[in-house]
Amino acid sequence: MISKGIAFILIATFSFAIMNIAAKSLDGLHPMQIVFFRAFGTFVFIFPYMLIKGVPIIGTHKKMLFTRGLAGVISLSAFFITIQRIPLGSAISIRYLGPIFGAIMAFYFLKEKINFKQWVSFAIAFIGVIVLKGFDIRIDYLSLFLILLSAFSVGIVFTSLRYLGNKEHHMTIINYFMVFSMIVSIAFINEWRLPYGSEWYSVLGLAICGTVGQIFMTIAFQTEKTSVLAPFKYMELVYAMILGYIFFDESYTILPLIGIILIIGGMLLNILAKSKTTD
């Protein structure tokens, strides 16, 4: 029988996969409008909770919270732009490089150790990106740049979260991300239009699934060890490739698949190498 933590993260990854499908289907809307809907959908749930429970709104480590919020909106924006240009599975695979960037940043700024096996795992993952880009002609250089920017920003998010640790309430951290996303996206309001017809279902699915995923992901990591849960985070890719095939007829030939396998293999090796070092 699986643990509650694993069950929660499987629910979270499936919710995020549905959210991504909803975001990709809204290709008629400006990407920053999609970012707004994603952020607002979560904000309206967590902000009243914070007020009721007395969770700090501003927090005390404002510079790092600012960094987390800004990096988060850059990552989300670049990701939503990219998934409207290339297959969802490819975008998610390359974005998984985020923990690598995060580990390297933590190595330089937080003085966290990286062992030899981790460096090998990083090399394998980056080789996977090269293979994927080289053999999947659907990935243009602009899309590759955007998704690498998204992954790099995820690395900044991970580093800032490592720094904040138990210094700030997790709801405060999430709220900064949502507020920054709404503020930045509103700057593009002249490019927005009202959704119509079935687009409203996608907007609703984006907001609800994004919130459900955020909540269950948080609960999962509060319930179970990170080393246990981390491999299950990659179920999001499995869901995305299946749903991408069903809804958008996205398929892969053998060589791009090898690239994806190298990326995921490198990341799993990193998790294993890091957990052994920690133990």
Q: Which of the pair, 98 or 273, is modelled with greater confidence? A: 98
pLDDT band at 170 (very low <50, low <70, confident <90, very high): confident
Going from N- to C-terminal start, the domains of the chain cover 4-278
Q: What is the mean pLDDT of residues 55-64?
A: 93
How many Cβ atoms sit within 10 Å of the Cβ of residue 198?
9
- The answer on pLDDT for 222 being more than 80 is no
Q: What is the DSSP letter of 56?
A: -
pLDDT digits (tens, 9 = 90+) for 31-49: 999 999 999 998 998 999 9
Q: How buried is residue 226: exposed, middle or buried, by Cβ count under 10 Å (0-12/13-18/19+)?
A: middle
pTM to 2 decimal places: 0.89
The mean of the pLDDT values for the chain is 89
pLDDT digits (tens, 9 = 90+) for 68-97: 999 999 999 999 999 999 999 999 999 989
Q: Which of the pair, 274 or 263, is modelled with greater confidence? A: 263
CA distances (Å), origin 165, targets 48, 135, 261: 23, 40, 31
